[in-house]
Structure 1
């Protein structure tokens, strides 16, 4: 409207149609389509927009299309920027979400090791984490046999798997060996001191092996005994071997004391000696219930009694045997029988005993003129008897101790007994080497 000073006016009307047809624009660089790991998806609220006329608002819409597994899918993001007049602009991003990362174990992983067969560790319990979800762990154990039962290789495998089949594997190799021999379970006295009648039976021992039930036991017993008179040792050895050839030996030594200890002593006896006990020739600590026997020589025994007078000159061997009980033994003695008891008196005139008196009166005392002490010498006795006038009244070339006063008739005028009185003898022991014996003898008769 134009008006002058007089209020004259003129009017012009213009109509302006104000419109908003321009869409907003995004402020940031628009995200392009991409392929990302499931744990690397960016935040979707990162875009803003500007409008030429007003403010603009940005909305986000996400559409997920499932893939082959839980953590693999297609994510379509659509951002829409709208101004106040509903002018819009959109941007769409397609994200291919994948899961190619394997899980990781949470615990320290067990290492390879070499162990004894009785020290194999228990399998560890392992767990795992996954970058996009959960993981399961499967354990497997495989044994590869070695040269023997207790030598083998144990392969332990833990497999951690996520929902998309990505897996992580840990393998532990345990080399199992058996280097230890079996051990003794039973009690065993390694040394024992016993007498020979108390030797213990071989004990039934029990052995065990840490890794194997296949145990071989070889038993051996030796003795150092060389005779029945000396102490000795019994050595018992058990050699024990397991399935892998590991060997151990266990030894028991028994010191055995001989309880029947006999020391034998030979002896010399004369044919005139009296009976004696053969036990007198033995000494030591022994059982006397054994048996005596003749080993050599023509002799007889009465139990342990031996009479030298029953045998001839020579050597005689006797054996004493103990056969009963746990300590049998035997001993031999030799008895030398000689005649020295005869020879010595025969060469000694002092051993010749001659009667001093003959009382031929029938009372059985001093009835005969006797010569004794040389009965076993084998001499021939030559006897002559004279009266006091020198007349020979009796003579014998082989006198047998049988003169009791008899006389020759020429000596007394007639035969018969000599009168009581003193007479004289001459005795010659032929082949004796002794001088003749002479002396008086008193004869008492009834005349």
Structure 2
């Protein structure tokens, strides 16, 4: 009845098997204009059977020292999407397979994206882990060594350091050497190539240059030292040997001689030179100073001493000399004699002074002891009185045969001679002893004979006798110039005061009064300057400082005269 009707529906939703599924029961209702209703149910099953989608990262190759879990490096999935689910996150699992070498591998990374209903999408990413980085190390520096040093001794030439690799451990560098000739036979240039290889065959190399050189000169053995030798004892050159650290050495010898200041002196320079194959040179120089220090010598013999008579003196002998190094010998002959005419025995010395060209001097002497051919002797212990001396002939005191043409001399005493006789002098001037010498003045046979005469003490006069001593008997000190002073005088036999003998004695004067009191004393009384005229001291009585008139007593001693003291009375008048 009704037209234009439109059915309506209502849904009843029940959950499905998963989050994205459900069961919808849709009840359709159609109502006519009169409210007549017809319903019918429709079941709608909502299911999720569509898997999600994403974009897996591309395949990648990384180094073995890189972290494959670092998604920043290896890549992550992108564009994750699902028709129903949101907030999905892909996950992965790795499957690792060995690579071409120890440090390499093939990682198959399976990415999986699952939606809320378990719909799954997977994708594989291949990560190739490779080792293409070579190891690193520091090669030893270039070095120069001696040719006799071991180039394989790494403690000498150096070893690599800082061996390192990004993936391999415990790597050891190796080397190979190539050799090239140096500038001389003993020199070698060694090119040492160091190689370090990791477990995947990545290789690093470095070159070290080792220069093996011969800079060491040869060694000379048994080196002679400088020497100073006599000109006739020059040594032969020493036999030296030369060794070299890397080969043979050539040894040469030269000698030069330079003349010195004289014919026997020189300087010898001996040079030994050792040269090895590389021109290294060792030189040893020996300086030999050659000196002529030996004086000429006598050829033959020479009597050093002979004894002859004065009238048989020989000529000096003719001598011959030789020298060890010099032909130029100079001989100077001289003579010395002790003959000064003072003795009949003397010595003649013949002297040969011999020098060579270098100033070495030797002296040879012969001493000739000359004895008199005639011996003149004199008597001994001659003692005479003075009066006998004046009448004696000195020849009377000589003994044996002697010539009479000599001369007499006075050698001791103040006296003169007339030929062989003594000139008389005053007896007071006679001395204790005289020496007279008989002189024969001959060039080769001089003679001097001493005659010693002693004056006999038994007949010698004293310097003064007691009879020659005159002492005052009286003093009258009255100013009339007579007997004014106490006098001690020396007079001769005639009573004259000009007594010629001079005696060295001291006059000691003592005056006593009659009671024995000493009134005057002078122990060095000089009659010329001292004058005792009766003056008194405290032991006397009188006036005006004089003793009373009367008799007094003196004691006079002539000290050193040999005489006894004189004593006696003396009258003193003072009034």
TM-score, structure 1 length as denominator?
Answer: 0.49
Higher relative contact order (CA 8 A, sep 6+): 1
The structure having more radius of gyration, on CA atoms, is 2
